[in-house]
Structure 1
């Protein structure tokens, strides 16, 4: 099929094929790089926030709980400030009051919590069960959908490692009376040492960062397409000026010579391959004239 096309069209088809392949490969590579960077950015945010919550828990465990624990037996109402998970959740809720962090979430999702606001939803329950089924599994990451858009989450198991934790969660009889008065005796009991009872789940919005990566990819592709379109116009103009037009002129002169017009000359305006071709045609015309003259003289 290409045999029937003119030189410029053949060249454009070849150039367009190369361009489409280059755009496709560069687009895939650029998109992969941007998506990887976006995921790194989301992961860094989630890890920073998770580390903050862990620090709050540690502070509550070592500084606040020892001061308030004796009051649990005398107070009529339970003091949730003694619970590390409660402190971390409250700090997170305070952070979420800032409009920039409205869609950031932290939860110590528990299968059988004392406070029902920490009860696992079906998705979180699946995470906890994965940790319970594989004791070597220390972290899970991924994306989940929400009304606010896609969220990137990091989940880590909550394991009962200290005997002191069982004081409030072994049996109702061992629990502080203030706890029973506040939360009752139906939830948050039966925990065992070294048992995985829940998961710390931090979720940060990912849709915005991913959308920005997609927009950057489209912008990059648009710039590449525009640059190549301009390059094709310039190359086509140069091709016509330096190759196509000189060849067309030589074809016209050759046609005139073939009709007997020996005064027509092949213009040699350059010293490149086109110029060499014109010079060769001129020599051929000269040889043809000499041959015809010799035939005319009968030699």
Structure 2
């Protein structure tokens, strides 16, 4: 609510412009939403988070900076869960008249043929391009001299060019220009999650403020679908046509977030994503550090939460 008591318009900030969530079905994904507004770069191919053709960037709290641009599978993310959040699609990175550096390198190295997968590759590549702690270093089979980690592209599939040209494009990227607006955005905090209660044709999507509120909602309606990362529920929506009467997002609840580490104990919040675990622990648990790069793709690890994969909430 505003100070005057008027409802705050529900909207997602897409490529810098507010797009209203009014009259949007609660099962609408973050892929369908921009496509319905003419931003058709992202494609729905597998509809289950396996191919990356739908990838977009979302502003999230960072590890090295207040904000980081995180690439996610838009086909699995309910757009209602992005209320008041910032999203960048491939169209928001560059234009035909002024290509983004990632797009330039993809063109120069022949990284696109049919082009179907290209916008998704570009978004995943851009997330790594803007990673604040990416730095020049010793190249290896999975890392370029520019610090580009090829695991960033592990969730993107291409059937035309082969991956050599795409890898060459990634390894050719320099540092972002100082006046790049997406770099400047990293210095300010990411949008905080907002309490949401969106309704459409008798169905609801809610984001409670606290864990206590979430438990109360579950007590009142035990059929509520709890979404921690959406990587299961998104598949149910896309491939099985599931339409839940009420969905509750718990992925940003403060009580379920964060990592606390002491000399002999590590506590990880159930709504912490696997990417956050990987980066915040930074090798502190060697076996975990070896396992996480092989646990699903980076696109999935950016949304899948620890609790969801242990059976708390809908995540795959």
Q: Same fold (TM over 0.5)?
A: no
- Point out the structure with the larger strand share: 2
TM-score, scaled relative to structure 1: 0.19
TM-score, scaled relative to structure 2: 0.19
- Point out the structure with the larger helix share: 1
Q: Which has the larger radius of gyration?
A: 1
